[in-house]
Structure 1
């Protein structure tokens, strides 16, 4: 069983997902002064695709945003899709999502 963790790396303005201490992917998370975090891009390394890591990464990132009382602005296509399947996170969205949220 692999050890999987989501880590906030504020100096790089991103969250990383690590598998057995190796970075397997990241989602950019650019904080703004108004308490909104911009999520423009999510990437999973090709070697780790198909393992559900993107969903785990975004879940961990959004849980951290919620814990810290922040909101999100989403331009990342993957996170838009994720929000369509996980309505429990839609309350974190500050204003309309740029583009359609697929259900």
Structure 2
């Protein structure tokens, strides 16, 4: 896997895989980063890429000293399955 990057101009975290981009849109509030939508290109689905994207996004959010709010079901499910991220949940 490649590294997740923060594309601030587009307000989304991105992960390049096989010439395609999985992404997680977000908006920043005074309290937290709200991840509003995640999308993995259809040919890449079912391979854990969405989870790698969210994991990397959470690492970037944590490194920036911010909190996260799950604004989409995929992120909410990920956070539920990975309680080690509770420290950055708003």
TM-score by length of 1: 0.80
Once residues 6 and 41 of structure 2 are traced to their aligned partners in structure 1, the CA distance between those partners, rounded to angstroms, is 18
TM-score by length of 2: 0.91
- Give unmatched runs, 5+ long, in structure 2: none
Aligned to 2:82: 86
Aligned length: 90
Aligned to 1:55: 51
Residue 42 of structure 1 pairs with residue 38 of structure 2: yes
The CA RMSD over aligned residues, in Å, is 1.3
Tell me, what secondary structure is at the counterpart of 2:9?
helix
Once residues 72 and 28 of structure 2 are traced to their aligned partners in structure 1, the CA distance between those partners, rounded to angstroms, is 15
Q: What do residues 50-69 of structure 1 show as CA deviations (whole Å, max 9, x unaligned)? A: 11100100000000000010
State whether residues 24 and 48 of structure 1, in contact with CA within 8 Å, keep that contact through their aligned partners in structure 2: no
